[in-house]
Amino acid sequence: MSSRITIEKIEELAKRRGFFWQSSEIYGGFGGFYDYGHLGFLLKSKFENAWRKFFLSLDDMFYEISPAVIMPEQVFQASGHLKSFQDPLCKCKKCGNIERADHIIENALKESFEGKTPKELTELIRKHNIRCPKCGGEFGEVGELNMMFPLNIGADSETKAYLRPETAQGAYVNFKRMFEILRKKLPLGLAIIGKAYRNEISPRQLLIRTREFSQAELQIFFDPEKINEHPRWEDVADYQLRLTTAKDRKKIIEMTCEDVNKKIGLPKFYVYYMAKIQQFYFNVMKIPKELFRFKELSEEEKAFYNKYHWDIELNLASLGGFKEIAGIHYRTDHDLSGHQNLSKEKMSVSIDGKKIIPHVIELSFGVDRNIYALLELAYSEERDQIILKFPRNLSPVDVAIFPLVKKDGMPEKAREVQNMLKQNFVVFYDESGSIGRRYAREDERGTAFAVTIDSQTMQDDTVTLRDRDTTVQIRVPVKELSKTINKLMHYEIDFRKAGKVVYEP
């Protein structure tokens, strides 16, 4: 990663190469909403599919569902969102600019003030003489804004509803039916990947804080009496987690899962999934260890419904340090009990001869935040250009196909190779410009490999296969190409050993 990475560089590249840009930009843009271009869509799809493959494979009773985005008012009355889903805001007395109060203080004092009351935030603004960033004016008293988007449903507009502020409620209102369908077993995991909507006071930092965003969440329903056990605990007991506790935010410690259970007091069922989240980031997303941490939230900071709340953070240089990109939360029976009380539908189930309302461990990932993180961590300035060094399995395009020249049957052979590879990979064909320019374009787009059809191909049916990160080229028979690329995509073999090396810088 380049030490010169900035949010402006990421935004320029994202717009120029087709990753993302502000929605409705021909009308000046729409604050807090972003459109994904073709490469952004491919990258997002790769992340979501990798997430599905990893987390849904953790248990035979984990399944993905797709609930509605619009839900009736009663859902959010039962969940507590109507009463407690507030953000603090302050308004400039001079120009009318509105900012999120804790963020404006955080920017000025360089520490977190999440969870402070409006009164406490007002006192901090006045104590440190924090002024409006637009005009320098004085802020008024800090107030609160409910972050949900209300809707009126139907022609008579009498039915009140909301765009969901999180995907989680879809799992809770469907829990009982899914429990019955899936043969009445616990633990039961219901995963949802989809859109959520929050009326953010001051959207900022591109995809990091938006009003429409995608979440990938897994709600794990379990017997609370078994929270300090997991059938595969021994698989992770000696695995080390990277943590920073609420008592000491300046220090990252490494501690085995066994010690996290015994010394910090987090239950085994919770810690097991902490380990799996860290393994996802290390093994699937290829995040460098030193850029990752779990951060414990204090009583004041954590969401109102969570007993335990640890954020997953990545150190993102363009944003000035560690930023939240996911979280693992113990929501107890808050949601199911709330829905039972309001709907009068029983959420209790019979397990092991007893009736219980299941508790929930929630694994919650901000998809868009992870896409931003992938872009930054892939960003590199070398070879006199920008190169996006995505993990091979997450590269938007897997393989670019190039005929060396547009004659001698090479384009036709290149199309033949393209048709063969596109059965299993995302493939891009390009025959315009010099081969060097074509390589450079694909390096900037983050394409993992390039296949070149040349005169030797026409003689012995072999091609050159080029690695984006090293520019090393090997010679591979066409008949083995698909199998070789598949192994390389999953890091099963070393690139230099996958064929005969014909070029090395």
Position 159 scores a pLDDT of 86
| Domain membership flag for residue 384 | no
Is residue 138 a contact partner of residue 125, using CB atoms and an 8 Å limit?
no
Q: Are residues 137 and 270 in the same domain?
A: no
Task: Look at residue 303 in the predicted model and tell me its pLDDT.
Answer: 80
Question: Exposed, middle or buried by CB within 10 Å (0-12, 13-18, 19+), for 361?
Answer: buried
Residue-level pLDDT at 3: 52
Looking at the fold, whether 314 and 270 belong to one and the same domain comes out as yes
The enclosing domain of 468 has a CATH number of 3.40.50.800
Do the domain assignments include residue 432?
A: yes
Decide: 143 and 101 in contact? Cβ < 8 Å: no
Mark whether 262 and 185 lie in a shared domain. Answer: yes
Q: Which of 326, 322, 323, 321 is nearest to 310 (CA)?
A: 326
Residue with structure tokens 């960003």? 379
The whole-angstrom separation of Cα 351 and Cα 369 is 38
Residues 67 and 120 in one domain: no
On whether both 117 and 194 belong to a single domain, the answer is no
Flag whether 260 is in a domain: yes
pLDDT at residue 2, rounded to an integer:
44
Is 2 within a domain?
no
- Under a CB-based contact definition with an 8 Å cutoff, are residues 230 and 361 in contact? no
Q: What is the pLDDT of residue 83?
A: 86
The enclosing H or E element of 284 equals none
pTM here?
Answer: 0.93
Same domain, 81 and 171: yes
User: How confident is the prediction along the chain (505 residues), in pLDDT tens digits per residue?
Assistant: 445 899 999 999 999 999 999 999 999 999 999 999 999 999 999 999 999 999 999 999 999 999 999 999 999 999 999 988 888 999 999 999 999 999 899 889 988 887 789 999 999 999 999 999 999 999 999 999 889 999 989 887 778 999 999 999 999 999 999 999 999 999 999 999 999 999 998 898 999 999 999 999 999 999 999 999 999 999 999 999 999 999 999 899 999 999 999 999 999 999 999 999 999 999 999 999 999 999 999 988 888 789 999 999 999 999 999 999 999 999 999 999 999 999 999 999 999 999 999 999 999 999 999 999 999 999 999 999 999 999 999 999 999 999 999 999 999 999 999 999 999 999 999 999 999 999 999 999 999 999 999 999 999 999 999 999 999 999 999 999 999 999 999 999 999 999 999 999 9
| 266 and 407 inside one domain | no
CATH code of residue 107: 3.30.40.230
Task: Tell which of 146, 163, 184 closes a domain.
Answer: 146
Question: Do residue 349 and residue 419 come from a single domain?
Answer: no
One-letter identity of residue 258: E
Q: What is the CATH number of the domain that holds 20?
A: 3.30.930.10
- Both 99 and 20 in one domain: the answer is no
Identify whether 95 is part of a domain. yes
- Show which of 98, 125, 146 is a domain's final residue: 146
Domain assignment of residue 383, yes or no = no
Is 389 within the bounds of a domain? Answer: no
Residues 252 and 336 occupy one common structural domain: yes
- C-beta separation of 376 from 316 below 8 A: yes
Position 35 in a domain: yes
131, 146, 161 — which closes off a domain? 146
CA-CA-CA-CA torsion sign (93, 96, 101, 106): negative
Please, what is the end-to-end C-alpha distance for the chain in angstroms? 20
Token duo for residue 93: 């007395």
| Residues 312 and 432 placed together within one structural domain of the fold | no
My answer on whether 298 and 442 are in the same domain is no
Which residues span the domain enclosing 118? 86-146
Q: Nearest 5 degrees, angle CA 71-CA 217-CA 147?
A: 45
Domain count within the chain: 3
